[in-house]
Amino acid sequence: MCPMSNDVSRRVLVVDDEPMVREVVTAYLKREGFVVSEAADGQEALDSLRRSTPDLIVLDVMLPKVDGFSVLNHLRKLNDVPVILLTARAEESDRVLGLELGADDYVVKPFSPRELTARVRSVLRRVNSASASVALSYDDLDIDSGSREVTLGGTALELTPKEFDLLWFFAESPRQVFSRGQLLEHVWDSSTDYQDPSTVTVHVRRLRQKMEPDPADPRWIKTVWGVGYRFEP
């Protein structure tokens, strides 16, 4: 397969303590045209991030020295570089914790390297897409696709890349109801075959915490019980 032109020179940091996992993931990503660096533990990852910031990080959760959650928590205090978590733990609480700390996606081990590569492309495509800036405004909410900036009542909101993608998708189709499966398909380029719908639930909750005066009684993102969510302009 030929590398996608818009992925060429995109830099990905792969953090995993298993040499075979790093080797396989790195080989697949390089074959797709990415520039890949590696780290074998959490401390090595933090040292690498102090030197330079990649375009995306593939981050294992269970790392020696400094675990993946701690690396992610530290990273989110500095910037919003996209992060895809790798986890061997299938418990929902672990997935929810990672997403609440600001991960953009997660993949459960054992995984298909091809699927992981597709997730990497999907996240980067959304973060770096939009050749022309398009703005949407609803009351005191302003969303700019070019700068990927969101202001509410004149105050800038600090959103992760995936939170922005989700909000933009909602705002482009006001009052339209989307199921969690549809949101996985359109915002994550995934499906319930590969990803738990709780991913959507967590991101909606995080958006509400950042946007809503009362997240329990949301103004912008409404729950349609038994169906999904809709954006109320």
Domains for the chain: give ranges and CATH numbers: 5-128 (3.40.50.2300), 135-231 (1.10.10.10)
- The arithmetic mean of pLDDT across residues 201-223, rounded, is 95
pLDDT at residue 59 in the model? 97
Checking if the pLDDT of 110 tops 90, the result is: no
How many other CB atoms are there within 10 angstroms of residue 201's CB atom? 17
pLDDT tens for each residue of 44-99: 999 999 999 999 999 999 999 999 999 999 998 888 899 999 988 666 777 788 88
Checking if the pLDDT of 4 tops 50, the result is: no
pLDDT at residue 152 in the model? 96
- Three-state SS at 173: coil
pLDDT at residue 38 in the model? 97
Alpha carbon distance 64, 45 (integer Å):
11
Checking if the pLDDT of 22 tops 60, the result is: yes
Alpha carbon distance 218, 113 (integer Å):
39
pLDDT tens for each residue of 121-170: 888 887 766 445 688 999 999 999 888 899 999 999 999 888 999 999 99
Q: Cα angle vertex 210, ends 126, 68, to 5°?
A: 65
Alpha carbon distance 102, 68 (integer Å):
12
According to DSSP, residue 116 is labeled H
Name which of 171, 159, 187 is nearest 232 in CA terms. Answer: 171
